[in-house]
Structure 1
Amino acid sequence: MNSHFQLDNPNLGKEDILYHIGLTAKDDLQSMFQDVKFVCMGGKPSRMQKFAAYLDDKLGKPKTSRREKGELLDISGSAGRYSMYKAGPVLSVSHGIGQASLSVVLNEVLKLLHYAKCNKDVIFIRIGSSGGLGVEPGTLVITDQPYNSTLEPVFLHISLGRSIPRPCSTCPDTRRELLNCSKNLGIPAVIGNTMATDDFFEGQCRLDGAFCDYSDEDKMNFLKRANQELGVKNIEMESTCFSAMCNRANVKSAVICSALLNRLQQDVVDATVQDMDKWQQQSFEVVAAFISNTVNDNVVS
């Protein structure tokens, strides 16, 4: 099914400065980005650089990749806030930690696609890490329904002093295809619900932050409720905002995160660097397989 990208804002125009990604609406964004069909986002600049390089090789180093001196160019590097790379029809973008940081760059990436006239069949995928709930470390959790910190299936957007509940959901077809890709690659993955929180410590029921006014029993009761009653399989900090903004723009979205630990058993990540690198690589392989399959099926022109 086609998705027709659209932004509902009559104030957008040629004078727009995309400050945080180092571009402006006056740049020739159409010739630079019109072929973009996928936007992959993740927290760390290094993660998205590695993913872009991996995908560039996987796609056979397309001519439309953006390079400088033979290396993929960090298009947004001059702005000093985020990193963005272009590998063929794919943008690989860092978004920092949390929904506030994500919303800034996602606003500007959406406007970039608007000015580049990418108005059809754009798919957004967040690639991240998370704390698992009832899943083994290393499992990829593909988000079905995102929940906020109060276990409501909405993103609470604050505007003009009002709290506005924005619907947040992911694309069923995309998440099923990601799961199929993981099965074909022999990589452990599940589809489950995700809780997105506003902070890493108290918001995620940890006991080891600077402050804590609840007991271990309180923590476990809440986490078990999220897992057993709502099917929450992992906890991170971006999925509600990410999916809600994609829904508002009428673009398909998916979230795939490796579980670094099982929060029903421990609070502290004790996986080795080698294990975490392996799990990150597996998420790259699954998303790259999905993109390659989509390209080969002629969904991408």
Structure 2
Amino acid sequence: MAPILLNCMGNDHNEYIKESVQVKNPYLDDMEEDILYHFSLSTKTHNLPEMFGDIKFVCVGGSANRMKAFAQFIHQELNLSGNPEELRDICEGTDRYCMYKVGPVLSISHGMGVPSISIHAALGTSGGVGLAPGTVVVTDKAVDYAFRPQFEQVVLGKVITRSTELDEEWPTSFCSQGRLDGALCSFSHEEKLEYLRKAYEAGVRNIEMESTVFAAMCRVCGLKAAVICVALLNRFEGDQITSSHDVLVEYQQRPQVLVSHFIKKRLGLVV
């Protein structure tokens, strides 16, 4: 997938600086204090514009350890001063998330599943659909259980449908996995394979749990976003991850290397 990504990155590293977040909640303007409880931050106790005003890239992932490792990795890649081993967790006052600021990059963990991520590149692991383990997938659109590029959310008893199209500069993931190894299973092995075949024919190449809501939320806020995940297994061949720990660690580094190159190119640090 790397050649596809490199060919469409472009060279205008000022483009990201011009983008601004579109806050879709007018009530925030009237609040005396906005307490971001789960981040252990507040508009009264912290100068958020000063802390985050120079951020150009926000990278999120499910695992706290993974996002700390990414923060240390991108620190080295950008040749920043200081010891990457001494990066401070901005959310150290809570056990919900971790957050590291590394120059213009923010690295944050979001936990697991749709509810936790709804809180701009998402990078992590996934199950491949017809792909060899270790393959990195850059999502162009996230689809739901019916392979539709949309995310449905119930608000005040009404179903709100949002598009899950992602940034076209990043060259299909979906939620609802068809696994046979969960606590409950109401379908057969043959039904699972038929579902995966339909997914593959619809263009799906990997499965993970957060891409639809991530894509929808970023699109509503006017954020350029991407989902870059490595496949840990081929779901046509089974549901259990059998690769060794060392192999899995190397797999998880692959999306980080790809995102690192993208960031450096956007900052004009590489050609």
TM over 0.5: yes
Per the TM alignment, residue 62 of structure 1 is displaced from its structure 2 partner at its CA by: 5.1
Pick one of 208, 211, 225 that aligns with 1:253: 225
**Pair 1:205-2:178 in alignment:** yes
Aligned equivalent of 1:285:
257
Matches of 1:157 and 1:285, distance apart in 2: 33
Q: Which moved more, 1:148-157 or 1:31-40?
A: 148-157
Aligned equivalent of 1:101:
116
1:235-246 to structure 2, matched below 5 A, reads 235-246=207-218
RMSD (Å), alpha carbons = 1.7
Aligned equivalent of 1:108:
none
Per the TM alignment, residue 30 of structure 1 is displaced from its structure 2 partner at its CA by: 1.3
**Pair 1:172-2:168 in alignment:** yes
Tell me, yes or no, if the aligned pair for 1:62 and 1:88 is still in contact at 8 Å.
no
Aligned equivalent of 2:101:
86
Matches of 1:167 and 1:271, distance apart in 2: 35
Query: Could you give the per-residue CA deviations for residues 238-279 of structure 1, whole angstroms, max 9, x where no partner exists?
Result: 011001100111010000000000001111111111111101
Aligned equivalent of 1:137:
133
Tell me, yes or no, if the aligned pair for 1:133 and 1:235 is still in contact at 8 Å.
yes
Matches of 1:79 and 1:4, distance apart in 2: 28
**Pair 1:196-2:175 in alignment:** yes
**Pair 1:234-2:206 in alignment:** yes
Q: Which amino acid aligns with 2:220?
A: R
Tell me, yes or no, if the aligned pair for 1:157 and 1:163 is still in contact at 8 Å.
yes
Q: Which amino acid aligns with 2:183?
A: A
Q: Which amino acid aligns with 1:296?
A: G
Matches of 2:96 and 2:225, distance apart in 1: 23
Aligned equivalent of 2:239:
267
Matches of 1:98 and 1:8, distance apart in 2: 23
Matches of 1:277 and 1:48, distance apart in 2: 13
| Number of residue-to-residue matches in the alignment | 251
Unmatched 5+ residue regions in structure 1? 105-123, 177-192, 198-203
More strand by share: 1
Per the TM alignment, residue 4 of structure 1 is displaced from its structure 2 partner at its CA by: 3.2
Unmatched 5+ residue regions in structure 2? 1-14
Percent identity between matched residues is 42
Aligned equivalent of 1:76:
91
Query: Could you give the per-residue CA deviations for residues 72-125 of structure 1, whole angstroms, max 9, x where no partner exists?
Result: 010012122000000000100000100101113xxxxxxxxxxxxxxxxxxx10
**Pair 1:146-2:142 in alignment:** yes
Instruction: Give the direction of change, closer, same or farther, for the CA distance of 1:4–1:29 in structure 2 (3 Å limit).
Output: closer
Query: Could you give the per-residue CA deviations for residues 48-90 of structure 1, whole angstroms, max 9, x where no partner exists?
Result: 0000001011111258x9x8xx710100121220000000001
Tell me, yes or no, if the aligned pair for 1:40 and 1:92 is still in contact at 8 Å.
yes
Q: Secondary structure, in 3 states, of the residue corresponding to 2:254?
A: helix
Tell me, yes or no, if the aligned pair for 1:135 and 1:262 is still in contact at 8 Å.
yes
Q: Secondary structure, in 3 states, of the residue corresponding to 2:131?
A: coil
Aligned equivalent of 1:20:
38
Query: Could you give the per-residue CA deviations for residues 13-69 of structure 1, whole angstroms, max 9, x where no partner exists?
Result: 341100111111122111111000000000000000000001011111258x9x8xx
Aligned equivalent of 1:183:
none
Q: Which amino acid aligns with 2:157?
A: G
Tell me, yes or no, if the aligned pair for 1:62 and 1:87 is still in contact at 8 Å.
no
Matches of 2:253 and 2:239, distance apart in 1: 23
TM-score normalised per structure 2: 0.88
**Pair 1:158-2:174 in alignment:** no
Per the TM alignment, residue 158 of structure 1 is displaced from its structure 2 partner at its CA by: 1.6
TM-score normalised per structure 1: 0.80
Q: Secondary structure, in 3 states, of the residue corresponding to 2:147?
A: coil
Q: Secondary structure, in 3 states, of the residue corresponding to 1:144?
A: coil
